[in-house]
A and B are shown apart, each in its own frame.
Chain A
């Protein structure tokens, strides 16, 4: 790799990170404004404060002897005072910034009904403990898709115009159907009819004790969700990357390389694959970003305990704090993904690197 100065790229990444963070701030702010059109954010915060105060006062020995009405009155008064102190009796525009800071620092309040696996009611914990499962499933799906499209695309571009090529073109409209819908059919075939794979979930119930069979059990549960995404992206993805390689393989420098008598493998790797990589990576990153949104439905279909499943549970029980919290986590997740991909570009796209030379 060509040596480059370190300062330029780092500055570039820092700038990108700041810009992305500003977009997260904007997303969170819009979330708050939309949610509070119906007063939902106010209620989340107020419920949290009221619960905290009730808890402290009921625990406080100095109030213990008082009649219940008196304690209730004290709780009310303290609550009103606290609202004033926190500036929550101010107009929405002022309050909204307080909520913004809460949202950005992931101080998401308490869930109304849902609890985390550890029994906590903290929205942050409920959501974050599900994050690894989502990232694991959908990153695997995107990476698998990437390599399948890459290699099959290359193969097809080599056999351009053949029967297989025509078949892929003809079948590429099937990719319009999203993974979750294929998932429904996969469950029907492999779980309901053949009964060889689980209907959904993360591990067997009860989970196996030793780590190896635990891992195998998780893998078994991943087969159908992964397959549904692979089927959905298959024909269009392969067709798309094959077209990229074809476009690059008609460049003059490829003709020259062929005339020079370079072996086809080298031509493929150095002259076709290399320049095609940035657009291919772009489609990979779009796929990955799309998968975070698609996760909500796919996880619901496969009962996969990730972010999407939490979302569905929150919708079913109208757990507003969790729903709002999810949107904020998604904003972060999306921005972090974009930033990581920007850094990846830095390595693979010489045009970006050239700016810092």
Chain B
């Protein structure tokens, strides 16, 4: 690129930064690049994919469809965070007493898990995890829910059938029945369906009969007791043991909330950045180079070659590009890098060829080309040393400006459910959110945040392309 002295990369960058649009665009791009580097370092590739696939059920302690943490400030409400009290880990608030019944190999166990609850909203879910050790019969337990006001609700009698089991308290039928029974006998008939977690955490008066009026019974202050989950049970066998972990799922999680599979959406937001940038830039660069070569061949050699290439570009313009791409991705499940290759094939004779060819035709008439011909330079020498360096600078704005198009293309495919099978991308998050009714349920951050990331990326490239255009094609400055 030595031939274009006055338009070296450095001077272009410097000039881009003299425009307001260039400054803003470069600032956003810098931020996105920083985010990409952070993503790649903080969550290595394999880890990101494993997390996104939800391997090792790593999200089990995370609430489903949680709001982002900062919703607390928007809604001006102390939205609940997740509370985990783990007996196995020896968390404070867990009392465990095991007494052997003399003359038998039966043990009586008492587990009390208590915690304070000081939030302005009900939790989203309550689950209980059991770690059991048994050799003879299965452990039998009874579970009680004790509220800070002292009311004691027997929830369920339960047999632990595996060394590691999860009791989903708030969706368990028996638990629901016991809770409703409690409401009926103490307060009255519920006016509508009320969720189990509401009964578990509401003030025991007639307000709890409807979800609209229910008040949270907070366990703050020194005089009020904590919430307690009490497990009474029998263990059989000498070395039998039982531990439990209580998870009270909140309604907020992390910077970007969680999705329907409890996954932290911020992982996809972070990892989507390097993927979008790499995909957009690679596609744009690869296609520009291929189109440049085709255009130069067409313009330089002329004649029949030119005629055929020109007809091919006209055909390409009328071929249904997106339906083609959708068909190919749906039939053959493309990874993102195969998608780049397919895109390349589908754009070899794209519209870019025509505009670049026009540039070649202009340059071809320059006197220095004539001089090169006169001293007997080969076609290859002229093309690579004299023509391409000359037409590269005017192509750069187009190259940068077409990056968003590819980013959106990938997002659209992902939105149709044709995204890369492994990678977490913004389009996939939007698709998940859209297909799981985020609009109707009001999970707006779930659609909004990835969309904002897409827009930021697009706008940054558009702004830089805009500034570049003014520099490389000075005529535009007049308008």
Q: Could you tell me which A residues sit within 8 Å of B by CB distance?
A: 20, 23, 26-27, 30-31, 34-35, 37-38, 40, 170, 172-174, 176-178, 180-181, 184-185, 187-188, 191-193, 199, 243, 246-247, 292-294, 296-297, 300-301, 311-312, 314-316, 318, 320, 323-324, 326-327, 330-331, 333-335, 338
Contacts and interface: CB of A to CB of B under 8 A. Distances in A.
Which of B324, B417, B447 has its CB near the most chain A CB atoms (within 10 A)?
Answer: B324
A14 to B, nearest CB: 17
Given A26-B315, A187-B439, A323-B327, A181 B321 contact: no
Interface string B322-343: 1110111011100000000000
A292 B459 contact: no
Which of B21, B318, B404, B448 has its CB near the most chain A CB atoms (within 10 A)?
Answer: B318
5 contacts: A27-B320, A176-B458, A177-B408, A247-B479, A296-B323
Interface string B393-417: 0000000010011001001100111
A176 B404 contact: yes
Contact of A296 (B416, B440, B458, B461): B416
Nearest to B332: A38
B466 A181 contact: no
Given A323-B330, A326-B323, 20 more contacts: A27-B320, A30-B324, A34-B324, A174-B459, A176-B462, A177-B404, A177-B459, A184-B451, A185-B448, A187-B439, A188-B439, A192-B440, A294-B322, A296-B416, A297-B412, A300-B415, A315-B416, A315-B418, A331-B323, A338-B318
A184 B443 CA distance: 13
B20 to A, nearest CB: 8
Given A184-B430, A326-B323, A327-B324, A23 B315 contact: yes
Contacts of A34: 324, 327-328, 331
A320 B332 CA distance: 11
Interface of B: 21, 315, 318-324, 326-328, 330-332, 401, 404-405, 408, 411-412, 415-418, 430, 434, 439-440, 442, 444, 447-448, 451, 454-455, 458-459, 461-463, 466, 479
Contacts, number: 128
A31 B326 contact: no
A293 B417 contact: no
Contact of B331 (A185, A193, A323): A323
A30 B319 CA distance: 10
Nearest to B434: A301
Contacts of B458: 176-177
A293 B459 contact: no
Contacts of A31: 324, 327
Given A178-B408, A330-B320, A297 B327 contact: no
Contact of B326 (A37, A247, A323): A323
